Structure 1
């Protein structure tokens, strides 16, 4: 598998990880919500890699903004944990 095919495939695990993160963030327990924010950060990184490869600059900007919000979510939920 060449580099282009690998990065193109990256959108599928990124999508699955994003859905798992959304599920975890909706949890009642703070520890699971924190895990969800970390999972979102992983998905943000994957989407950014894919976006750079494809030149999707709006997607990169969106993911950078969401990454910042996910970091904020971690700090706000650590007090509750």
Structure 2
């Protein structure tokens, strides 16, 4: 089981890269998908960080999770209604 969790860093990295690509899109739906991918990557990184006792990584991911929730909310609103 430990080796499976060790391998979790690779899908977490891949999801993070895909999320960054999508967030850079000019299309609102793709940006929203990017923020949702970022949220998934935050969860994956926290799981890996907990296993690896990487406490600073976990704190970072929790902060980024909050920012990604904000980005999801701001991009879900129709243009002109963004806060």
Please indicate the TM-score interval, normalised by the length of the shorter structure: over 0.9
Paired with 1:60 and 1:8, the residues of 2 have a C-alpha distance of 15
Aligned residues: 79
The residue aligned with 1:5 is 3
Moved over 2 A (4+): none
TM-score, normalisation: structure 2: 0.92
TM-score, normalisation: structure 1: 0.95
Deviations 1:14-71 (A, max 9, x none): 0000000000000000000000000000000000000000100000000000000000
The residue aligned with 2:33 is 35
Alignment partner of 1:69 out of 67, 70, 78: 67
Matches within 5 A, 1:9-28: 9-28=7-26
* RMSD over aligned Cα atoms: 0.9
Unaligned stretches of 5+ residues in structure 2: none
